[in-house]
Amino acid sequence: MSTSPSSARSDRARLIEAGRRTVEIESRAVADLLPRLDERFARACELCLSARGRVAVSGLGKSGHVGSKIAATLASTGTPAFFLHAAEASHGDLGMVARGDLLLAISNSGETPELLALLPPLRRLGVPVISMTGNAASTLAREAEVNLDVSVREEACPLNLAPTASTTATLAMGDALATALLEARGFTSEDFARAHPGGALGRKLLLRVSDVMRRGEDLPQVAATDAVENGLVEMSGKGLGMTAVTDASGKLLGVFTDGDLRRALDRGLDLRKTPMQEVMTRNPRHISPQQLAAEAVNRMQEHRITALLVVETSGTLVGALNIHDLLRAGVV
């Protein structure tokens, strides 16, 4: 049985309205957290900062899924953390928690039996507890050193049953905790990159020019007294579209590019007899091998060039790279 156009439009409208209602409810749940970022939140941050060990994040069900993400965010932003499954903890995994650690326990009801069962053995270890609950009068909230209130007015679920707004609020509170700790620790983008060496940001912040540049036999290089035709052979053989021109000690004197070749031909010069020093471009753009590869990208874009020579502070030529080298390294 086919659906009429008007019925299809009505169905779409209901779907859109349901989606918008969900976003509105969850947005309100997050906004309601703002006044709760108070002295209790500051105390939670202080407990995390004073912990000599790691932050164990624990929860069950949807709270466990959110807790796993919060633990990952903490760990990647300078606060050593791991996820402890609340149900497995009582069957041996509690051994992962040691004196000097801290427990971040997540439960919307604050009465999750598996979490409450962890409190006595952790007390004996002297492990402090921070709770995130939707019920400030719950057992877990009362037993914790500090409770972070993540209660919501309603779930986005039309039955007001499925954890939706409550998990969003908990996740936002976890992000607030992680970023506050990040700032307190003076965590930098370089620190973040070291924790994410395989990611795009890690490559941009960790890779140096020396890691991607061409060197040795792959480096196009001729002497200042060589004939231009020798430079052309070097350019075509090394595939960089240019060649460096150096003195006898390896110091960079200039660069020879396709543009220099056109200008030499326009002048009617004999390419077999004219030395490179007469046609090269002096003081060419270059970069240090210690600089970030991302800076090489910036310089190429700024000066509208596709290749750079790599020079030590002494002026000695040590390498070269082009935009394709940076693309292969994942920097661009």
pTM for the model: 0.66
Q: pLDDT, tens digit, for every residue of 216-234?
A: 999 999 999 999 999 999 9
Range of the domain at 181: 12-187
Considering its fold, how many domains does the chain have in total?
2
Q: Domain check: are 292 and 155 in the same one?
A: no
Q: Where among 187, 218, 236 does a domain terminate?
A: 187
Give the pLDDT band of residue 191 (cuts 50, 70, 90): low
* 202 in a structural domain: no
Does residue 294 fall inside a structural domain?
yes
Residues 144 and 221 in one domain: no
pLDDT tens readout for residues 23-42: 999 999 999 999 999 999 99
> Which CATH number covers residue 295?
3.10.580.10
Q: Which of 142, 86, 92, 77 is nearest to 114 (CA)?
A: 86
**pLDDT at position 141:** 97
Q: Are residues 79 and 121 in the same domain?
A: yes
Please indicate, yes or no, if residue 113 is contained in any of the structural domains: yes
SS (H, E, C) the chain: CCCCHHHHHHHHHHHHHHHHHHHHHHHHHHHCCHHHCCHHHHHHHHHHHHCCCCEEEEECCHHHHHHHHHHHHHHHCCCCEEEEEHHHHCCCHHHHCCCCCEEEEEECCCCCHHHHCCHHHHHHHCCCEEEEECCCCCHHHHHCCEEEECCCCCCCCCCCCCCCHHHHHHHHHHHHHHHHHHHHHCCCHHHHHHHCCCCHHHHHHHCEHHHHCECHHHCCEEECCCEHHHHHHHHHHHCCCEEEEECCCCEEEEEEEHHHHHHHHHCCCCCCCCEHHHCCEECCCEECCCCEHHHHHHHHHHHCCCEEEEECCCCEEEEEEEHHHHHHCCCC
Residue 235 lies in a domain: yes
Residue 6 belongs to some domain of the structure: no
Q: Per the domain annotation, does 4 fall within a domain? A: no
Q: What is the CATH number of the domain that holds 53?
A: 3.40.50.10490
Rounded CA-CA distance 184/195 in Å is: 18
Q: Does residue 122 share a domain with residue 258?
A: no
**Do 251 and 174 fall within a single domain?**
no
